[in-house]
Amino acid sequence: MVRSTGLRGSRQLPASHRSSTVAAHRDIWSAATRYIDLHLATRLSVDDVARAAITSRRQLQRVFADAGETTVREYITVARMRRATMLVLESDAPLSLIAPAVGYGHVSAFIKAFRLRYGTTPIELRRRHRDVLGLTR
């Protein structure tokens, strides 16, 4: 039994309730992160993600705080930057194609977000990466 304190005082929760809650949170996390990863090129809102994970906005925020130790918005940003980094380093695609592929409507907004996250521009990262590998283009 797990002890729970609510507004009405202490009560005993069966261990099965706790394990079913953990499983439900895992399912919400999995559905939400899968949806985000598949829709990085689109405009994503917390409400869209909650609908896709078949949960409430508040419950989704709780799951991300507990399971992922992050926020939904931060997870989206990190996922976008991770995908952008892969595209920058592994392709010759121009930023005008990469930016919308990771959810940015304007190249300038993408470059600014990338620089804030990594301290360098995408083009500079690509150039340095190629220099290290000995790939000059």
Domain ranges of the chain: 13-70, 77-133
Q: Name the E strands within 29-125.
A: none
Global pTM exceeds 0.85? no
Phi–psi pair at 40, nearest 5 degrees: -60, -30
- CA–CA separation, 9 vs 3, rounded Å? 10
Residues with Cβ within 8 Å of 105's Cβ and at least 6 positions away in sequence, in order, are 99
Residue 53: its pLDDT value, please?
A: 97
As given in the structure block, the two tokens for residue 115 are 């620089």
Residue 6: its pLDDT value, please?
A: 43
Residue 21: its pLDDT value, please?
A: 86
> Which of 3.40.50.150, 3.40.50.720, 3.40.50.1700, 1.10.10.60 would CATH assign to domain 77-133?
1.10.10.60
- CA–CA separation, 36 vs 74, rounded Å? 11
Residue 136: its pLDDT value, please?
A: 61
Mean pLDDT of successive 10-residue segments in the chain (137 residues)?
44 56 92 97 96 97 92 96 97 97 97 97 95 76
Interhelix angle 57-67/72-90, rounded to 10 degrees, is: 70
Residue 14: its pLDDT value, please?
A: 53
